[in-house]
Structure 1
C-alpha cells in the first residue's frame, strides 16, 4: 500500500505534462532550482543566533539616569 508501481509514476507524469505542458515544465524546474540555490545561499550567509546568545550580547540598560540624589 505504501509503494508505487511503475504504472503509478507513469500516470503521475502524464498528469503533470497535461497540467504544465511540455514547454513550461523546464521553466518550472529552473525556477525551483533557482529558489533552492537562493535559499541555500541565504542560509550560509546569515549565522543562526539563539536566544541565549542574543541575551549575552545585548548590553544591559543603563538605569543610573532614573536614580535621583535624595
Structure 2
C-alpha cells in the first residue's frame, strides 16, 4: 500500500500550514540550490576527467621494459 496522489497532496498542504508559505518556499529554494551545485560539481568532474584523458593521450610512447623477458630464479631447495 503506497502513497497515492491525494495522500501526497494532503501531506503537502499540512506541511505548508505547519511551516508557513515563506519558510516552505525558502526550503525548496535551498533544495534547488543544492541540486544546482551538485550538477555543477558533476560537470566539473567530467571536465577534469576529459582533460586528464587528453593529457594522457598526448604523452609520448614509453620504451618497452627490457626486464620483461626475465624468468624467475629457480629454487634449489628440495620440495617438502
What TM-score bracket applies, with the shorter chain setting the length? Answer: 0.5 to 0.7
Larger of the two Rg values belongs to structure: 2
Change in Cα spacing, 1:20 to 1:3, as seen in structure 2 (3 Å) is closer
- What is the alpha-carbon distance in structure 2 between the residues aligned to residue 16 and residue 35 of structure 1? 21
Alignment partner, residue 64 of structure 1: none
TM-score, normalised via structure 1 length: 0.53
Q: Where do 5+ consecutive residues of structure 1 fail to align?
A: 50-70
Offset at 1:5?
Answer: 4.4
Give the number of the structure whose residues are more often helix, by fraction.
2
User: Which 4+ stretches in 1 moved above 4 angstroms?
Assistant: none
Taking structure 2 as the reference length, what is the TM-score of the superposition? 0.48
Number of residue equivalences: 50
Residue 17 of structure 1, CA deviation: 1.2
CA distance in 2, matches of 1:3, 1:24: 25
TM-superposed CA distance for 1:10, in Å, is: 3.2
**Partner residue in 2 for 1:15:** 14
Which runs of no fewer than 5 residues in structure 2 stay unpaired?
Answer: 50-80
- In structure 1, distance between residues paired with 2:34 and 2:43: 14
Q: What is the CA deviation profile of residues 12-67 of structure 1, one whole-angstrom value per residue up to 9, with x for unaligned ones? A: 01221133211111111111111101110001101486xxxxxxxxxxxxxxxxxx
